[in-house]
Every structure is written in structure tokens, then in C-alpha cells.
Amino acid sequence: MERVTSSTWVEPSNTATALLLLGRGSDPATERGVECPGDLPAPSDPDLVARAAAAKAALGDKVFVLGHHYQRDEVIQFADVTGDSFKLAREAAARPDAEYIVFCGVHFMAESADILTSDAQRVVLPDLAAGCSMADMAALPQVENAWDVLTDVGVAERTTPVTYMNSSADIKGFVGRHGGVVCTSSNAKRALEWAYEQGEKVLFLPDQHLGRNTAVLEMGFSLDDCVLYDPHKPGGGLTSEQLRDARMILWRGHCSVHGRFTLDSVNDVRERVPGVNVLVHPECRHEVVKAADLVGSTEYIIRTIEAAPAGSAWAVGTELNLVRRLALAHPDKQIMFLDRAVCYCSTMNRIDLPHLVWALEELVAGRVVNQITVDADTAHQARVALDQMLALPGS
């Protein structure tokens, strides 16, 4: 299936959104797709594990399987490397002899892998419906319109765009064209420090929480220095004066998983588990991050748990697959999900064993399915922004 792009952003209707979530529709204006051009193995097939192993063995060094930390265990067991999105994209680029990169993650991650790998390599996403709600919250026409607003107000020339890795190739390309930089949750502070050396203001895409938490809690900004740009409102819902006065213009986007944690979640677990350490991702809400004991990226969360003393208790505010995997790997510690309610990343979980088996077996048969390809111009501009990130001190 080819990705269809559109120069006009159209807000989907409630009916269209419902059909999409049920797998009975498509949304060509975003990075998501739902159709699978082939027959999937039945999820109840008891031979799925053996079939995946056989197909992977048949492909040998021609295939390199990447597994994001939030993937299901049934998929992770076949990953050659596990990690966060940027680590996996770099790992793909470091395997130039692998003809096929099977990315068990979501669409923007596969795009990054395609940008960083050679033209001879082909990146496969087992299920095109594995998108990212956060990335979808910043569509290129919306961001271009926002830049026009900043231009009309007279602040665009003094504004540096910074986009989180969790954004589409289109948005990374936009940032590259306008002299900006990509960041991860680990290097957001370094990226922002660089951005403020280029100009007075930053347009931070697409996760408001990472931008706000980094600016306020790590760089000494006040909440009043930050404004929230809503792409669904005229002028972003902001006055010209607000845009001129702001130092940080935050995009109204968030992670559907990390955004669910609340201050009540933190207070509740502290009451239930005396001495618990609250460890959260910086994509969480500002009040949650302030109330936590430790805050850091996915890789930071893993390292912290690994280094924690036996007998310690941890409430972790990130995706449930990872929290469960950490709990199983460290039975000497009490590791729990921060919220009482279960919360998987629903789109990440679209990559299941039937989709992985199907993709691998199609490759064995000589058919490349669900290839993710970023057009040359977008890839070049996105690479400019990614290279600027790699050039940051300490990267």
C-alpha cells in the first residue's frame, strides 16, 4: 500500500473516525492506513511462533528486525535489537548489508529508518495501521498554516522550529527547511539550548508536555513564558500579543498513553505503597512530572530500574508492555503501573504476531509488503534536521 498525502487537511468526521478505529475505513490524509493486501494467519494458529522463526531463518542476514520497547512480548522475541525510536533507526542505518528492515514500531519510526538507511534497503512496517496519535496531531498543512500566522505576526524570523522525534517525516522536513532541529526525550534540553542560540522563540512540535516540562523544569522558564497553539482554532487560539511575548510556542499535541496519568494517580500510589518511587516519562503532564521522584526517557527508565536495589518499589508512568516486561525481568523489586487502569499503546499493539509472520513470509516469497518510503525531497530536509540533532554537544 502506498501512502497517500494531501495538501489540504480535513478534520475526519465522527463516523469516519469510528470506522477507522474499527478497521473498516482509511484516512489518507494522515500517516495511518488500515488495509492489508494479503491474508493474515489466524491469531489462534498454534504454529505462528514456529512460522515466524522459520521465515526469519530463511531470510538470514537479508532481514533485520527492530522491536520498540512498547511492542508485545510475542513480537519482541523475534527482534534483533530493541530500543526507543531513534536508537532503532540508527541501528537500522548501521546494518547496510540488511536488504530488509522489518520495523516493529509505528509509522513515523519506520519513516525515520527509511530516511537514515540507504536506497538499497527497504523498510517494512508489518501493519500500516500502526500509527501514532501524537504524530497525527501535527499535520503538515496545519504546521504550514501556523508558520504563516507567525509570519503575519512578525515573529517567524525570530522563531526556531523544534520537533520531537515522534513526528512524521513531513514535519521533520518542515523543520529542516526552516533551520530547526529534531530532538528526543533524552536530548530535548540540548536541542532547545541550541534553538535559543538561533533565535528568541521556539515552536515546539508536536508534544506540548515534553516541551513545557523541558523549558520549565530544566531551563528555568516560567509557565507564563509558554503559550499553547491550537491548530483547530483561528490563529491558534492566541492573540498577536501572546505570540510576540511568548518564548515557547507549544503545539497542542500529546501522547495518548502518557497523557492519561494524573496527579491523582501519583497521590493514590503513594498512599497505597509506602516508600514507592514514582518514575515517569517526560511526555506526562506537567503536574505529574513535578510530583514524580524521577523523570526520564524510556531508556532512562529501563536503566533506573535495572540499577535499583532489590526490595525497592517502583510505580512507572509509561506504556504497560514495557512496565510488565520490567516487572518480569526484576522479580526482586516491586514494579507496578502508575495508574490503576490498564493502558497499552493501541496503535503500537497493531503489530502482532500474525502481521509479523505475514510480512516475513511474504519477504521469503520475494514480495515486499507495506514498504515505507519517504520521498527524496522530504527525506533530504528531514535529514538536515536529524543531522543537526546529531551535531548537538553530547550527541
282 is in an annotated binding site: yes
281 is in an annotated binding site: yes
CA-angle at 181, arms to 67 and 96, nearest 5°: 40
234 is in an annotated binding site: no
132 is in an annotated binding site: yes
Answer for the pair 183, 86: CB distance below 8 angstroms, yes or no. Answer: no
CB-count exposure of residue 90 (10 Å: 0-12, 13-18, 19+): middle
Give the residue carrying C-alpha cell 520475494.
366
Cα 210 to Cα 189: distance, rounded to the nearest angstrom: 10
Cα 149 to Cα 165: distance, rounded to the nearest angstrom: 24
Cα 138 to Cα 205: distance, rounded to the nearest angstrom: 7
Cα 150 to Cα 236: distance, rounded to the nearest angstrom: 10
Cα 69 to Cα 67: distance, rounded to the nearest angstrom: 6
Report the candidate in 305, 309, 312 with the shortest Cα–Cα distance to residue 279: 305
213 is in an annotated binding site: no
31 is in an annotated binding site: no
258 is in an annotated binding site: no
If one counts every other C-beta atom within 10 angstroms of the C-beta of residue 25, the result is: 15
133 is in an annotated binding site: no
Cα 44 to Cα 25: distance, rounded to the nearest angstrom: 25
Cα 183 to Cα 192: distance, rounded to the nearest angstrom: 8
Answer for the pair 358, 38: CB distance below 8 angstroms, yes or no. Answer: yes
Beta sheet of 63-68, edge-to-edge order:
81-83, 63-68, 100-104, 122-124, 371-372
85 is in an annotated binding site: yes
Report the candidate in 105, 21, 25 with the shortest Cα–Cα distance to residue 355: 105
Cα 126 to Cα 178: distance, rounded to the nearest angstrom: 33
Binding-site positions for iminosuccinate read 68, 85, 164-166, 185, 281-283, 298
Binding-site positions read 68, 85, 132, 164-166, 185, 255, 281-283, 298, 345
Binding-site positions for [4Fe-4S] cluster read 132, 255, 345
